[in-house]
Structure 1
Amino acid sequence: MTRIEEAIKQSKFQDVYQKALVNLIYTANCLRDEQVRILKPFDLLPQHFNVMRILRGRHPKPVCPGEIKEVMLDKANDLTRLLDKLERKGLIQRNLCPTNRRKMDITLTQAGIELLEKMNHMMEQTHETLKGRLSEREAASLSHLLDKLRG
């Protein structure tokens, strides 16, 4: 286990709250970097993976962009560009909503479902690593503390 002080070569923090915040950001970035590494062979980013998982959760029902944006883990991204790339790769399909022509319906294609299954399997390795480092009780406690931190 590498302590945050060693990881960023900083021995002093303003207080324990600053240390916790720095540790949280550093750890989140480490986890994101691991996702990027896993998804790189597929030429996709974690945000693409997140969109595909959202669509899979609603499959076979279509989802509109607003609904996707609402539940994305990283809301700062340009959803249109993410969807454009997924569509170019044949992983999603966009159609006009039959009941509201101003609304776009988005669904996963069969190729998207199959690729998502493959990526989910690879992401399982990260999940297993977490299980090896934290007990169920520690993971539940961490989740509770993160919920509390967000208010």
Structure 2
Amino acid sequence: MSKRSRDTATAAEESFDSLEQEVFLNLWRTYDRLKLIEDEVFGRVGLSAQQYNALRLLRSVHPDAMPTLMLGSRLISRAPDMTRLLDRLEKRRLLLRERRPENRRVVEVRIAKDGMQLLNEVHDAVQECHRQQLGHLNKKVLRQLVDLLRKARQPHEDTENLSFIDE
């Protein structure tokens, strides 16, 4: 190790309370940098990343519907106010909600024609966004990163309600 590498490592060790803290803060900073690129793409079409994720999940079961509780459990990140998220999408006519007569407590949602159209319109921009975010990494490094991230979150996952990326 060169003297400069040793000095940099020593400075980093002194800046953090633990290696775990350093890793966590690096994850957080990385998320923040990558999210800026994503926010720009979704902002152009008036969606949040969570709204986009919800529409994609509904498209995956189209033409069927999905109960709102199941939809909420399959989102990449928790939606603290699922009702508001769905209200906004319904107001834009991107999804449809209905209560089943046999069980009025269950609300089911399905993607609407306009929601399918919006996903088709934004598809290429989302793919380009992912290339901007991580396209500088080769496939081997990306696969290693996926594996490490799964290992990091695995003990904290709700095995009864896995996100679609962990199924």
Structure 2: 5+ residue runs without aligned partners? 1-10, 156-167
How many matched pairs? 142
Q: Which amino acid aligns with 2:73?
A: E
Q: Distance in 2 between matches of 1:81 and 1:60?
A: 23
> Residue 34 of structure 2 contacts residue 133 of structure 2 at CA under 8 Å; is this kept in 1?
no
Q: Distance in 1 between matches of 2:99 and 2:79?
A: 25
> Residue 94 of structure 2 contacts residue 115 of structure 2 at CA under 8 Å; is this kept in 1?
yes
Q: Give 1:124-139 correspondences, 5 Å limit.
A: 124-130=127-133, 132-139=135-142
Q: Distance in 2 between matches of 1:43 and 1:129?
A: 20
Q: Distance in 2 between matches of 1:114 and 1:36?
A: 20
**1:27 aligned onto 2:30:** yes
Q: Which amino acid aligns with 1:51?
A: A
Task: Give the RMSD, CA atoms, in angstroms.
Answer: 1.7
Q: Which amino acid aligns with 1:35?
A: E
Percent of aligned pairs sharing the same letter: 28
Q: Which residue of 1 aligns with 2:124?
A: 121
SS in 1 for 2:93: coil
Within the candidate set 68, 71, 77, 1:68 is matched to 71
TM-score (norm 2): 0.78
Q: Distance in 2 between matches of 1:91 and 1:83?
A: 9
TM-score (norm 1): 0.85
Within the candidate set 45, 49, 54, 1:51 is matched to 54
Identify which range, 21-30 or 96-105, moves more after superposition. Answer: 96-105
**1:36 aligned onto 2:39:** yes
Structure 1: 5+ residue runs without aligned partners? 1-9
Q: Distance in 1 between matches of 2:135 and 2:72?
A: 32
Q: Which residue of 1 aligns with 2:4?
A: none
Q: Which runs of 4+ in 1 moved over 3 A?
A: none
Q: Which residue of 1 aligns with 2:158?
A: none
Q: Distance in 1 between matches of 2:81 and 2:37?
A: 22
